[in-house]
Amino acid sequence: MRTILRNYAQSSFADVRGRTTLIAKARWLLLFFITIYSAGAALLYSISSQGLQASSLQILVIASSFSAIFCYNTLYYFFYESIHQRKCVDHLQLFLDLLFVTILVYTSGSASSWLWALYLLVTLEASILLQNRLEVWAFGIFGGLLYGGLLLFGYLDYLPHVKMPFVDPNLHHETLYLLLNWLWVCLLNTTVAIAGAALMTVIRRERLAVEKSERAKVAFMDSANDLIFHCNPEGKFLYVNPAWQQALGYKLSDLDGMTMLDFIEGDSKQRCILEFRKALRGETIATMEGKLLASNGTFVNVEGSFSCTFKEDKPESLWGICRDVTARKEAQEQLHHIAHHDMLTDLPNRLTFSDRLTQAKALAKRQKSLLAVLFLDLDRFKTINDTLGHDIGDMMLQETANRLQSCVREIDTVSRFGGDEFAILLVNPSSLEAIERIALKILKQLGQPMTLDRNELFITTSIGISIYPSDAERGDVLLKKADIAMYQAKANGRNNCRFYRPEMDQHARRRLDLENSLRKALDNQEFYLVYQPKVDLQSGQITALEALIRWQHPTLGVIPPSDFISLAEESGLIVPLGEWALRQACRQSLQWRQQGVPQVRIAVNVSGFQLERKDFVTQVKGIMEEIGVAGSALELEITETVIMQNPEFAVKILNQLRDMGIHISIDDFGTGYSSLAHLKRFSVNTLKIDKSFVDEVDINSTDAAIATAIIAMARSLNLSVIAEGVETEGQREFLKKEQCNEMQGFLFSKPLPAEEVVKLLQKQSD
C-alpha cells in the first residue's frame, strides 16, 4: 500500500504515458479502498438486524466489474507502449470507466446508491487524460446522461430494482426525488468537468514553460564558449558541455569513473580539494587559477570557479566553469562586483545586505534564534569632509570599514549604505548582552585615533539596534527601527548605542514634519534649477545642459538634492517635483530660444517613480505641447538601475519617448545589471559612465579597463558615450584618447544659474 501511494505521488503530467500511469495507479488505489469498504459493509450487514440482502447475481456482477476494471487497468499500465498508438485509446478507457461505474451504481441501488460520486472521479480522469476541454465537457455530460438513463429505466421498470437496506423501494418511482438527484449529479459533474479542464490547462501551460526554460538553459550551456561541468559531491561527472569536450578531448562517456581532481595539475590539486570541501560546507570559495590535463597530454591554462547547490542543507551537486584569463573578463567581473558592493570600501551594498538579511531571517525563524541589525552613522563626518577634503574623508570611510569587519564574525555582514552610513547584520547572536558587547566593541574600535595622510583624526559613531523577531519581522522594518534607534543615540549625545524601543517612533513625526515642509516648498516655489554643461571632448563645444534641482529653504538655506530627493521618493512627492523640473526646464529652453541664445538640449533626470506611472509619456507630451518646445530640445536621463527593474516596461516607454524626438540617456551606467542583449532593445542615444569609474580612470588599470569596455560596447551599438565627474586633465586626456564622445564635470564648469549659462553659450558662439 505504501508503495502504491509513493508511486502515485511520483507520477507526472509531463506526457501521455505519465498521465495514464497516474490514472491507473489511482484506479488501483480506489479499487483497494472500495473493496475494503464493501467487505466491511457486508460484514456489518450480515451481523445486523437487516442481514446481508445482496443476491448472488448482484455479488457476481460487482465482482465481475471489479475484475474487469482491474484487468483493463493492468493492460493499460503494463502494456501501454504497445497499445498507445491506437486511436482514441484514452477515450476508450474513459468510456469503460463510465460503463462500469454505471453498472456499479445500478448494482448498489441505482437511485439510492452512494457510488454516484464515482462519475465525478471519471470526469476528473477525463480532464487529466484529454487535452481538449470540449472532450472533457462531453464526457462529463455523457456521465450525467448515463446516470439519468439509469434512473429513467428504473422508473419505467425496464430494469429490475436492486434492494438495499434502509432504503424505501418506492424511491425508484418518486419523480421529484429522481429528478433532483439527477440534476444534483449533473451539476457537480459539470462543475468538475469545467474546473478540471481549466486546472489541467494551467498545469500543462506551466509545464511547457518549465520545459522550455530547461531546454533554453541546456542550449545555453551547450553553446557556451566557457568550459562548464557538473559533478556530484564525490566529484564524479554528471555533465560536461561541448566546449569542455572540445578543449580537453574527452566525451562524457569517457569520464565514467573519473573525477574532477583527475584533471587538475598537481601544484593546484591540494588547494582545489580544500575549496571543494569549503563549497560542500556552504562556505564562500575563491576563484582559482590552474591547469587542466587534456587527453593528448597537454595542459590547458584556465581560471575556474564552482559553487555547490544544497538540498535540505546537504550538498547535492557542484557546478563549475573554466575560462581564459583576459582583461575583458576581469572588467565584466568587476562590473558585477560593483553592482553588489560599495566602490569605496568594497563592502556589500544595500542590495546584498537586503538579500543576506532575508536569508538570515529565514534561518532565525527556522531555528527560533535571534537576529540583530545595527545601523551606524559616523558623528560629524561632514566636518572632516569640509575641512580636510573628500580624499581624507574617503580614507576614513575605508579605515572605518576595516575596523568594523574586525569587530564581527565571518558569518556576520558589514555593509555600507552610502555616505557615512553603515549597517551590520549579526546572525544568531547568543543573547542581547552579546549584541551589546559587540556594539560597545565597535564604539571602542572606532574611538581609537586614525592616522590618515599624516593627520591624526578621531571619529565616533552612533549605533541603533533592532532585534528579530521582537522589534519586527520584515527586513525593511528592522532597518527602519534600527535607523530610528540610531537617531535616538545621536540625540543622547552621540558615540553610544541604543536598542530600539516603541517610544522612539517619535522620530517618524520628525520625518513627517520634513515631508510637510517639502510639500510646502513646492507650493511656495522654493525650488530652482541650475545647469551643468555637457561638452564635446573633441571640439570643446557645449552639446547639452543638465538641469539640477536645488531647494532654497526659507530658514535652512540651500538644501542639496541628497538631503531631500530620497524623502521625496519615499513620500511620493518626487512625481510632482519631477513634473515641475521638466516643466521648468522646457520653459527655460523656450525663453532662451526667444532671446536668441544658441540652442542646446536640456537634460532632465527622471525618477523611477515617474517612469513607472502609466501616464508618464502622456504627461511629457502634454508639457511639451503646452509650452511649445520640440522633442529635439529635450533630453531625459534615466538611471540604469531604474530601467533594469522592469526591462520590458522600460523598452515600451523608451520607444515612445524616442519616437517623440527626445534624446534618451542611461545615467550611472555600470552600476546596474544591463547586458548587451538589453541595450540592443532599449531605444537610447547615450550611455553616461558613472563617476565612480571616472575618478581614477587615468591611474587605476581596472577602472581604465571598465571605462574602455563600456566605450567599446557603446560604439558597437552606435551609441554616444559621456563621462560624468571629470575633474582633472588626466581624466580628460584618457577619455579623449579612448574616443569617448562627451564629458561633464568641474573641469569645465560647475552647475550654473540660468543667467550665467546664457553668458557661457553666447561666449561660445562668438
Counted residue by residue, the chain has a size of: 766
pLDDT at 644: 64
The pLDDT score that the predictor gives to residue 389 is 76
Which pLDDT score, from 0 to 100, does residue 611 have? 81
pLDDT in tens, 135-165: 888 888 888 888 888 888 878 878 877 777 6
Q: Which fold has domain 513-759?
A: TIM Barrel (3.20.20)
- pLDDT on residue 275: 78
User: What share of the chain in percent tops pLDDT 70?
Assistant: 89
Name the band, by pLDDT with cuts 50, 70 and 90, for residue 717.
confident
493: left (phi over 0), alpha (psi -120 to 50) or beta: left
Among all chains, which residue has been given the C-alpha cell 520653459? Answer: 587
The larger pLDDT score, comparing residue 388 to residue 738, is at 738
Residues 248 and 291 sit within 8 Å (Cβ to Cβ): no
CA separation for the pair 480, 344 (Å, rounded): 24
Is pLDDT of 470 > 60?
A: yes
pLDDT in the model for residue 543: 92
Residue 120 has pLDDT above 80, yes or no: yes
Q: For residues 541 and 336, what is the distance between their CA atoms, to the nearest angstrom?
A: 34
Residue 404 is predicted with a pLDDT of 95
* pTM of this structure: 0.42
Residue pair 421/412 in contact (Cβ under 8 Å)? The answer is no
pLDDT range class, residue 15, cuts 50, 70, 90: low
Which of 720 and 138 is assigned the larger pLDDT? 720
Which fold would CATH assign to domain 340-500? Alpha-Beta Plaits (3.30.70)
Q: Is residue 111 within 8 Å of 151, Cβ to Cβ?
A: yes
Q: How do the domains of the chain map onto residue ranges?
A: 2-210, 224-325, 340-500, 513-759
What DSSP designation does 262 have?
A: G
Of 691, 690, 692, 672, the residue nearest 682 (C-alpha): 672
| pLDDT tens-digit readout, 208-227 | 887 788 788 778 877 777 88
The lowest-confidence range among 1-15, 516-530, 671-685 is 1-15
Give the mean pLDDT of 342-353. 92
Collapsing DSSP to helix, strand or coil, 344 comes out as coil
The correct CATH number of 224-325 out of 3.30.390.50, 3.40.1160.10, 1.10.1060.10, 3.30.450.20 is 3.30.450.20
* For residues 666-685, average pLDDT: 69
Residue 251 pLDDT class (50, 70, 90 cuts): confident
The confidence band for 566, taking pLDDT boundaries of 50, 70 and 90, is: low
Q: Is 706 a residue whose pLDDT tops 70?
A: yes
Instruction: List, for residues 254-313, the tens digit of each pLDDT value.
Output: 788 787 777 777 667 777 778 778 888 878 777 777 777 777 877 777 777 778 888 878
Beta bridge partners of 759: none
Rounded CA-CA distance 226/241 in Å is 9
Block residue for cell numbers 551590520 = 424
Distance CA 637, CA 546 (A): 9
The reply to whether domains 224-325 and 513-759 share a CATH topology is no
Per-residue pLDDT at 652: 84
Tell me the helices (H) and strands (E) count for the chain, helix number first. Answer: 28, 21
Percentage above 90 pLDDT, the chain: 28
What pLDDT is stored for residue 174 in this prediction? 81
| Mean pLDDT calculated for residue range 371-388 | 79
Please check the confidence at residue 326 and state whether its pLDDT lies above 60. no
